[in-house]
Amino acid sequence: MNTRLVCAALGAWALAALPAQGQGVAEPHFCGDAQPLPACSTFIVFEAGAGYRARRGAGELDLSWHAGVLSNRGRSAVGATAFFATDLDGERGWFSSRVGLLPRYRRWLSRTASVDLSAGPVLEVGRRQPALGATAEVAVGWGNDIAITGRLDVGGRTGVGWVGGVKLGSKQASNGIEAEAVALVVYGLIALVRWVGTIDDCIFWCGNPLD
């Protein structure tokens, strides 16, 4: 009798320990919002950024976008993003842009915080002939929300430039695009004021062409 009771108890315990059908441990999968393992095996990266670009003593508004896919490998993730950035020189009234495909490495510091490193060749385009250059960027923050960034641009037509700014991730993408639009309008107004001031100075020093 005791033997039968022990066997029945062991059988019941074994059945209880088995996962219910369809309720096993979830496998890592593709995610729209970035998370480390075991939540995601692969995830989308979409970021919109704005910053200040210093080059040869001049300051420029820099707007940038990243879009791509990364795959988790333990506490790290690797992949690549399509990259586009443009900066506007309000004093000279022209802009230059960079486009490329940048390999990226991410190190997860927690479930949300991370450090990202990306670098690779880019093509610089603008009012001059396209020229080959390179870009390297480091970003620290929360990938789906906001990150502080630093970027180095070398080569191309505009030489060496440093960019410091912020990027908004996939959860804040719409806010990021709106913020970039506002920054672009404000910078355009500043450029217009500078241009009007330059015209006034020329009229004062060069003489009024209507006289």
pLDDT per position as a tens digit, 141-178 = 986 889 999 999 998 777 788 999 999 887 765 565 66
pLDDT for residue 58: 60
pLDDT over 70 (residue 68): yes
Cβ atoms of 41 and 26 within 8 Å: the answer is no
Structural domain contains residue 5: no
Helix (H) or strand (E) holding 112: none
pLDDT for residue 193: 58
Rounded to the nearest integer, the mean pLDDT of the chain is 77
CB count within 10 Å of CB 199 equals 10
Structural domain contains residue 99: yes
Structural domain contains residue 180: yes
Structural domain contains residue 106: yes
Q: Is the dihedral of CA 54, 57, 59, 60 positive or negative?
A: negative
What pTM was estimated for this model as a whole?
0.71
Structural domain contains residue 12: no
Structural domain contains residue 16: no
**Tokens representing residue 4 in the block:** 């039968």
Structural domain contains residue 10: no
Helix (H) or strand (E) holding 2: helix 2-17
**Tokens representing residue 193 in the block:** 């004021």
Residue ranges making up the domain that contains 74: 27-204
Structural domain contains residue 112: yes
**Total domains, the chain:** 1
The CATH number given to whatever domain includes residue 105 is: 2.40.160.20
